[in-house]
């Protein structure tokens, strides 16, 4: 029996959308604490969203190259996961994991075969790996920014590696992504939005429904 697929809805900003994601059957929700993101939420908002979600869905706070005080402040709120989405080195990921005492998901941008080569070093340290599209050249923030990457690159990965897939996923392509790539989980943010940072109830429900059906 295959493990149940993990579905993560990321970039949630409001209690209303948190409820929508939980009711639609999300396994994880992500909150973005990064000023340059249209999905940024303050520490106070993160605290309130985490307490609202506690015991109902796994919570994940996304940080980009955080300093130690930021890590400590977020870890104190008691999320289930911290997701590192910046240029953190394996050494830095290890240090943050030791300091935070929270499970760490490391997002790694994939654009070509050379990026696949870096995955193994992080896989030994992070509790979970999230493979995302490389940002377009000149982008001011990390992530696929709504674009997917060439999934065939993942054939070069260690077949024993569990990972989550992100980058350009939508209700329309998530089933194909799951059948093609066989990830441990899928993660969506802009693919369930009507405008940057504006989540849509119907898109969230369709994404989760299509992801579950594909499994």
Dist. CA 145–CA 167, nearest whole Å? 7
Tell me if residue 16 is catalytic: no
Please answer whether residues 64 and 39 qualify as being in contact, where contact means their C-beta atoms are separated by less than 8 angstroms.
no
Catalytic residue chosen out of the listed positions 16, 27, 60, 132: 132
Q: Give the CA angle between residues 27, 7, 124 to the nearest 5°.
A: 95
User: What tokens appear for 91 in the block?
Assistant: 């050494």
Main-chain dihedrals φ then ψ at residue 74, nearest 5 degrees: -75, -40
Tell me if residue 132 is catalytic: yes
Dist. CA 58–CA 40, nearest whole Å? 19
Catalytic residue positions, numbered? 10, 132
């Amino acid at each position: 029996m295959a493990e149940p697929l993990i579905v993560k809805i990321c970039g949630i900003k409001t209690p209303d959308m948190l409820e929508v994601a939980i009711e639609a059957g999300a396994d994880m929700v992500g909150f973005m604490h990064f000023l340059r993101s249209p999905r940024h939420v303050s520490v106070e908002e993160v605290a309130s969203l985490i307490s609202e979600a506690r015991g109902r869905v796994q919570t994940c706070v996304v940080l980009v190259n955080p300093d130690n005080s930021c890590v400590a402040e977020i870890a104190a709120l008691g999320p289930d996961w911290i997701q590192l989405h910046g240029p953190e080195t394996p050494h830095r990921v290890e240090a943050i994991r030791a300091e935070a005492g929270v499970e760490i998901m490391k997002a790694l941008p994939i654009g070509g075969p050379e990026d696949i080569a870096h995955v193994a070093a992080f896989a030994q340290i992070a509790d979970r790996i999230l493979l995302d599209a490389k940002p377009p050249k000149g982008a001011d923030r990390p992530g696929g920014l709504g674009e997917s990457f060439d999934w065939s690159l993942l054939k070069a990965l260690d077949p024993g590696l569990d990972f989550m897939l992100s980058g350009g996923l939508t209700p329309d392509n998530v089933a194909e992504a799951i059948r093609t790539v066989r990830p441990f989980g899928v993660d969506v943010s802009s693919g369930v939005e009507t405008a940057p940072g504006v989540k849509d109830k119907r898109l969230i429900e369709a994404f989760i429904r299509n992801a579950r059906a594909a499994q």
